[in-house]
């Protein structure tokens, strides 16, 4: 399209800048709205990125990011030499249609691939993976033989979990403010299996799951693979936005609500007690299952989060999920679901169909480690506090334009770029030897393009090297400063 045609196209979008949020999302929403209404039909050729940017008076980066978002949502396809054309997407609605299951999971998740594929990067700021909490794990491993010797008379299958471990988990949760009994505990292969079990029990193609935006990548993948409709609600400095959550519950009648109330991944925020009480009331009064992902709850840096959501409505359908992977060691593959006993029975039947229970070896080690959770928490607190301090110092020194909110716990910073977008920057960073996770990967709405997640789990020397490489990549990327209108839009919190 020529400039005049691009101006005509731009005029048809109306006052697309009205509203709040990043400019690229407002532009994408305007194009999507015209497609949904039939004003733009399938097959319509969109203006070239630079031509539309000139017509609208915005940076080319804005148009590129808007087109990227529409492609990811299935509204747009682009081919070299043919430009970008609208596709006939799925039925529009207030919830985001699930991603193609064939593109979810392993193929979609950069983090999963980084676990098993060799990388050419010198530094990887990808997964939230700490090494084992030595010497605690090593000491527990020394007693494996004697602990297993007491069990060899049994057939070795415990579909709901080793009794000693279920008891230890119940005690651990009771100390955290959530009174629990062993019968309310199901042992899982980490929090990831717990997410899969909840999805298989509560979700099916077309059913809706409400979840935070941004949120844990692994949850997005599991829910998309289940064919669920994703209804994202934004996150603020105080956790999930309760006004948006109330609206989503009333509008969508969801089959499941997935939340990370303590040191939310990736934003690092904590949901206050008053909001936790209200969320518990939603589960109790409406009967909507709440998945409370507390995988990072024990990784505080001095201030413990409030009691679990389930503590405010213990009999409601709330699945409080924990894991030893972050606190102790991912190699144990031990997590749990705490829920009312009838619900545990339903989940246990789902789990038994898949694996008949966890390894006895991992469970006896976990049963020894859990009573020492307080000591291990202090060990981790010192470790992650030191590494966070190194990362913040290096970022402030080498990348002073970047901004973030200091988390009270967890394992990563949610960093905002002053301009450009993290997907484009990630490609440049890769060429400079460092891998990063763009915010769009963490967003069920494919938003957050101006953010990236930076874990502080590597050793200090590696963090310093990684930030140095990021600074080199940023100088090479050097996106132009955003226009004033775009800067104002970017001030809105995700």
Domains in the chain, start-ordered, CATH in brackets? Answer: 3-86 (1.10.10.10), 101-132+375-490 (3.90.1150.10), 136-373 (3.40.640.10)
- pLDDT at residue 313 above 90? yes
Torsions phi, psi for 81 (to 5 deg): 90, -15
The 8-class DSSP code of residue 441 comes to G
Q: How confident is the model at residue 2 (pLDDT cuts 50, 70, 90)?
A: low
Q: CB–CB of 439/453 below 8 Å?
A: yes
Q: CB–CB of 254/231 below 8 Å?
A: yes
CA distance 244 to 248: 6
Q: CB–CB of 125/415 below 8 Å?
A: no
CA distance 25 to 486: 11
Token pair of 449, please? 């393009």
Mean pLDDT score, 436-452: 92
Containing H/E element for 84?
Answer: strand 83-86
Residue with the larger pLDDT of the pair 11 and 131: 131
Question: How much is the pLDDT for 200?
Answer: 95
CA distance 452 to 439: 5
Q: CB–CB of 490/26 below 8 Å?
A: no
CA distance 84 to 290: 40
Residue labelled with tokens 């596709």: 87
What residues pair up with 434 in beta bridges, in sequence order?
A: 123
Question: How much is the pLDDT for 367?
Answer: 95
Q: How far apart are the first and last CA of the chain?
A: 33
Q: How confident is the model at residue 210 (pLDDT cuts 50, 70, 90)?
A: very high
Nearest to residue 96, comparing CAs of 29, 23, 27, 30?
A: 29
Tens digits of residue pLDDT in 45-82: 889 888 888 888 888 888 888 888 888 777 888 776 66
Please report which residue ranges of 38-180 form alpha helices under DSSP H. Answer: 49-56, 60-72, 110-116, 136-141, 144-149, 163-175
Q: Is the dihedral of CA 146, 151, 155, 161 positive or negative?
A: negative
Q: How confident is the model at residue 18 (pLDDT cuts 50, 70, 90)?
A: low
CA distance 214 to 336: 24
Q: CA gyration radius for the chain?
A: 24
- pLDDT at residue 122 above 80? yes
Q: CB–CB of 40/70 below 8 Å?
A: no
- pLDDT at residue 100 above 50? no
Looking at the chain, the number of H-run helices and the number of E-run strands are 18, 17
Mean pLDDT score, 193-198: 96
Tens digits of residue pLDDT in 421-431: 898 899 899 99
What residues pair up with 321 in beta bridges, in sequence order?
A: 293, 337
Mean of the per-residue pLDDT values for the chain?
A: 87
Residue with the larger pLDDT of the pair 104 and 349: 349
How far is CA 411 from each of CA 125, 214, 387, rounded to the nearest angstrom?
Answer: 11, 16, 9
CA distance 127 to 110: 9
Question: How much is the pLDDT for 101?
Answer: 43
Mean pLDDT score, 412-421: 95
* Chain centre distance of CA 258: 10
The most confident of 70-84, 85-99, 175-189, by mean pLDDT: 175-189
Question: How much is the pLDDT for 428?
Answer: 93
* Chain centre distance of CA 388: 20
Nearest to residue 233, comparing CAs of 268, 197, 260, 203?
A: 260
Lowest average pLDDT, out of 74-83, 91-100, 431-440, goes to 91-100
Q: Where are any strands of DSSP class E within 215-282?
A: 229-236, 239-240, 256-259
DSSP labels, 283-351: HHHH---EEEE-TTTT-BSSSPPPPPGGGGSTTSSEEEEEESTTTT-GGG--EEEE--HHHHHHHHHHH
How far is CA 433 from each of CA 212, 215, 429, 468, rounded to the nearest angstrom?
Answer: 31, 26, 6, 11
Token pair of 167, please? 């008891």
Q: How confident is the model at residue 10 (pLDDT cuts 50, 70, 90)?
A: confident
Question: How much is the pLDDT for 102?
Answer: 41
Residue 449's contacts (CB-CB under 8 Å, 6 or more residues apart) are: 22, 24, 65, 68, 69, 421, 422, 423, 438, 439, 440
CA distance 434 to 463: 11
Question: How much is the pLDDT for 89?
Answer: 45
Nearest to residue 74, comparing CAs of 48, 96, 107?
A: 96
- pLDDT at residue 251 above 50? yes
Token pair of 359, please? 């390894």
Mean pLDDT score, 467-482: 86
């Amino acid at each position: 399209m020529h400039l005049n045609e691009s101006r005509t196209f731009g005029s048809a979008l109306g006052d697309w800048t009205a509203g709040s949020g990043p400019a690229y999302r407002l532009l994408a929403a305007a194009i999507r709205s015209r497609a949904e209404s039939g004003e733009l039909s399938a097959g319509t050729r969109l203006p070239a990125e630079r031509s539309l940017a000139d017509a609208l008076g915005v940076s080319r980066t804005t148009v590129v990011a808007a087109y990227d978002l529409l492609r990811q949502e299935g509204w747009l396809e682009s081919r070299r030499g043919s430009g970008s054309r609208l596709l006939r997407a799925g039925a529009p609605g207030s919830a985001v249609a699930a991603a193609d299951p064939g593109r979810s999971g392993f193929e979609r998740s950069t983090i999963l691939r980084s676990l098993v594929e060799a990388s050419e990067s010198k530094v990887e700021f990808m997964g939230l993976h700490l090494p084992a909490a030595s010497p605690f794990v090593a000491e527990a491993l020394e007693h494996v033989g004697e602990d297993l010797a007491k069990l060899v008379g049994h057939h070795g299958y415990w579909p709901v979990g080793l009794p000693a471990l279920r008891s230890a988990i119940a005690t651990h949760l009771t100390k955290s403010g959530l009174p629990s009994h062993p019968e309310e505990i199901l042992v899982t292969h980490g929090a990831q299996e717990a997410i899969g079990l909840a999805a298989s029990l509560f979700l099916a193609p077309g059913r809706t799951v409400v979840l935070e935006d941004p949120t844990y990548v692994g949850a997005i993948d599991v829910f998309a693979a289940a064919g669920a409709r994703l209804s994202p609600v934004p996150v603020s400095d105080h956790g999930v936005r309760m006004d948006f959550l109330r609206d989503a519950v009333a509008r969508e009648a969801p089959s499941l609500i997935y939340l990370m109330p303590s040191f939310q991944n990736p934003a690092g925020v904590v949901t206050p007690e008053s909001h936790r009480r209200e969320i518990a009331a939603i589960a109790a009064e409406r009967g909507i299952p709440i998945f409370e992902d507390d995988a990072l709850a024990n990784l505080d840096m001095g201030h413990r989060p409030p009691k679990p959501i389930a503590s405010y409505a213990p009999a409601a359908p709330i699945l409080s999920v924990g894991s030893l992977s972050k606190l102790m060691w991912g190699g144990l593959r031990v997590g749990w679901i705490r829920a009312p006993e009838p619900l545990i029975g339903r989940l246990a039947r789902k789990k038994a169909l898949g694996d008949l229970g966890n390894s006895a070896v991992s469970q006896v080690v976990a049963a020894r480690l859990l009573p020492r959770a307080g000591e291990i928490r202090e060990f981790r607190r010192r470790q992650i506090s030191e590494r966070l301090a190194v990362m913040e110092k290096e970022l402030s020194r080498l990348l002073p334009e970047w901004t973030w909110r200091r988390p009270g716990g967890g394992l990563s910073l949610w960093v905002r770029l002053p301009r450009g977008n993290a997907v484009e920057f990630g490609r440049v960073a890769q060429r400079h030897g460092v891998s990063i996770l763009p915010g769009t990967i963490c967003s069920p709405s494919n938003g957050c393009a101006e953010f990236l997640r930076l874990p502080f789990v590597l050793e200090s020397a590696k963090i310093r090297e990684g930030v140095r490489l990021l600074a080199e990549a940023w100088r090479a990327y050097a996106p132009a400063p955003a226009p004033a209108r775009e800067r104002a839009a970017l001030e809105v919190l995700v």
